[in-house]
Structure 1
Amino acid sequence: MQLVRQNEEIAVKRSRTRRARSRRRTAIRAAAAALVGCALATGCAGGADDAVRPAAGQQPLQAPPARALDAYATQLKAQQAQRAAAARRWGLAKVPLAAPRPPARKPVIKARKGFEVDGQEELGLPPVFTTVPTKDKVVFLTIDDGAEKDPKFLKMMSDLKIPYTAFLTDAEVRPEYDYFKKMQATGVGLNNHTLHHPYLPGLSYARQKHEICGMQDVIEKKYGKRPTLFRAPFGNYNQDTLKAAKACGIKYAPIWNAEAFVDRMDYREWDRDIHPGDILLTHFRGREDWKGTMPDMIRMLMKYLTDKGYAVARLEDYL
């Protein structure tokens, strides 16, 4: 009988120990979940000091097994503290929102209705589009030509982890190829915007092909890879443009649905607003053309997007 009681006492102690361990694991998971939920929301209190959101353009840390969740939560909090500090340093009142994980299954990209040319589908021509089909509340920042080469802009975008896509014109890039090599090293895609930025529909097929294929050659020589994205200067094109682009290895010809300046936004749509998947255009410009600098433009744009609940995603991740 005494042995039975001893066995029962041992069983009770073991049961209590298991329940205590289970409660600790549950508490750790709840704490980590609260941190992650706060990080992925629009901000726990809406300010840079207390925001713990993952960096735009970075994927949230993946939660490890329960025994390491406390370390994970600490790491996530430290990462977001650094992010908040960068936002303050660059004059942003709020930390930019995080883009969700890129879709495993990429959306089907077709020419926007009304933006097709004759033989668009039959000839398999690169689609011209202004918006990527997605339900994610993201937009895609694209920057054209390469005239302004502001080192502070590179530093700002790197610190804030804001993704963007560049469309380069050789006549503007040529004086400082290395500037864009530094940009490429941070993960920015360098794409085709022709050699000299002409009005392409006014040129013959042969001259259009020279402008596009010639820029393909420049980008491959200077940056090691032929791009598959092309943007027609001024957003103007015809069938010959897209036929030449296809012959040069181009798969997509995105234009834009809204444009950012240092002091305003311009829109293509009647509602004068942005929408999930919109492609945004801006330019490499400075005080000679704007009422401010590229960092000033980014401050304006990120406040606008964050206030509307949008994150910036990388265009190439959705194509």
Structure 2
Amino acid sequence: MKRHRPVRAVLVALLVAAIASACAEGTDGGGTDQGRRAEPAAGRPGAAAAPPPAAARAERLKRQQAARVAAAKKWGLAEVPLVPPAPPAEKPRITTREGFEVEGGDALPPVFTTVPTKERIVFLTIDDGAEKDPELLRMMTELGIPYSAFISDYVVSDDYGYFKDMQARGVTLSNHTLNHRYLPGLSKADQRREICGEQDKIEKYFGKRPTLFRPPFGNYNGDTLRIAGSCGIEAVPLWAAEAFPDHMEWREPDRDLHPGDIVLTHFRGREEWKGSMTDMVRSVMKTITGKGYAVARLEDYV
């Protein structure tokens, strides 16, 4: 048996050489291109190199800005909305505005009208939910303008689907009580039903329990804040300015915007306003953009 081993070794060597030769021919000229497909694209003559990350990002931003310009023209805005800066890595510490305190306030959700920031940004918030204008959803989505909704069940319950669509577009739905009643005039039990009951409704129909609460008319007392805190509320944003289709109203005596101001408006239409919700957006954005501010997302800061 030992005398046959060299012959077998030679046969094996010849077979390996034949296979290697066939593979080499298969990757050359008239053979298969499997080997060429495995070759990195950058190494082939004439192949386009992948753009560097910075160039790709610049191109993406250019396309986004072009889309914003087109959307602003489509919706009749006076100017293209400014782009807000990236949100902070850590949210700022929010405290109750001076003059808005109640007894025991240190342990209660803070009440404020402006978010502490040096950036030239403001926050747009919309209350109630009576007007369900599909044009508003399309307009805000195409313009890329963030906003927050504070809803009351008595006016949204006839069309939860509208607000589910809004939520799917990235809008946070927050608490504005069940029936929009004057809370300081209610008993503790009734306040609990209004505030915590709306927490339950929003969780049931929209899947998430709110952490932000706005009392109707901006009125509250110590019981309001204690009850709100007990059922999951962490902060109570009020507002520094209010927007209408034909004018602005201001809390501050200088009648101006300031970094971090919260702007209030409502889900209302022509039956109650001198214009539609899209008219309101055009009006408020003319003020915001004209004063050099961008609209940022409230929940990124609070």
Q: TM-score, normalised by structure 1?
A: 0.78
CA distance in 2, matches of 1:191, 1:107: 20
Deviations 1:38-89 (A, max 9, x none): xxxxxxxxxxxxxxxxxxxxxxxxxxx9835444333322221111111100
In structure 1, list runs of 5 or more residues that go unmatched: 1-64
Question: Following TM superposition, by how much is the alpha carbon of 1:105 offset from its aligned partner in structure 2, in angstroms?
Answer: 1.8
1:300 and 2:261 matched: no
Q: Is the 8 A contact 2:174 2:210 kept in 1?
A: yes
CA distance in 2, matches of 1:68, 1:230: 41
Q: Residue 240 of structure 1 corresponds to which residue in structure 2?
A: 223
Q: Residue 96 of structure 1 corresponds to which residue in structure 2?
A: 81
Size of the aligned set, in residue pairs, is 253
| One-letter amino acid of the structure 2 residue matched with residue 246 of structure 1 | G
Please point out which of 237, 253, 258 is paired with 1:254. 237
Deviations 1:12-58 (A, max 9, x none): xxxxxxxxxxxxxxxxxxxxxxxxxxxxxxxxxxxxxxxxxxxxxxx
1:111 and 2:92 matched: no
Matched residue of 1:79: which SS? Answer: helix
1:81 and 2:66 matched: yes
Deviations 1:141-169 (A, max 9, x none): 00000010000000000000100000000
Please point out which of 29, 49, 57 is paired with 1:72. 57
Identical-residue share of aligned pairs (%): 66
1:200-279 alignment runs, 5 A limit = 200-279=183-262
Please point out which of 283, 290, 294 is paired with 1:311. 294
Q: Is the 8 A contact 2:78 2:282 kept in 1?
A: no
Quote the RMSD (CA, aligned, Å): 1.2
CA distance in 2, matches of 1:70, 1:247: 50
CA distance in 2, matches of 1:86, 1:66: 28
Deviations 1:84-139 (A, max 9, x none): 11110001132100110101121110100110100101xx1111100000000000
Q: Residue 284 of structure 1 corresponds to which residue in structure 2?
A: 267
Larger RCO, structure (CA 8 Å, separation 6 or more):
2
1:191 and 2:177 matched: no
CA distance in 2, matches of 1:248, 1:285: 29
| One-letter amino acid of the structure 1 residue matched with residue 204 of structure 2 | K
Q: Residue 158 of structure 1 corresponds to which residue in structure 2?
A: 141
Q: Residue 34 of structure 1 corresponds to which residue in structure 2?
A: none
Question: Following TM superposition, by how much is the alpha carbon of 1:303 offset from its aligned partner in structure 2, in angstroms?
Answer: 1.1
Question: Following TM superposition, by how much is the alpha carbon of 1:179 offset from its aligned partner in structure 2, in angstroms?
Answer: 0.2
CA distance in 2, matches of 1:86, 1:161: 9
In structure 2, list runs of 5 or more residues that go unmatched: 1-49
CA distance in 2, matches of 1:216, 1:71: 43
Q: Is the 8 A contact 2:239 2:264 kept in 1?
A: yes
Q: TM-score, normalised by structure 2?
A: 0.82
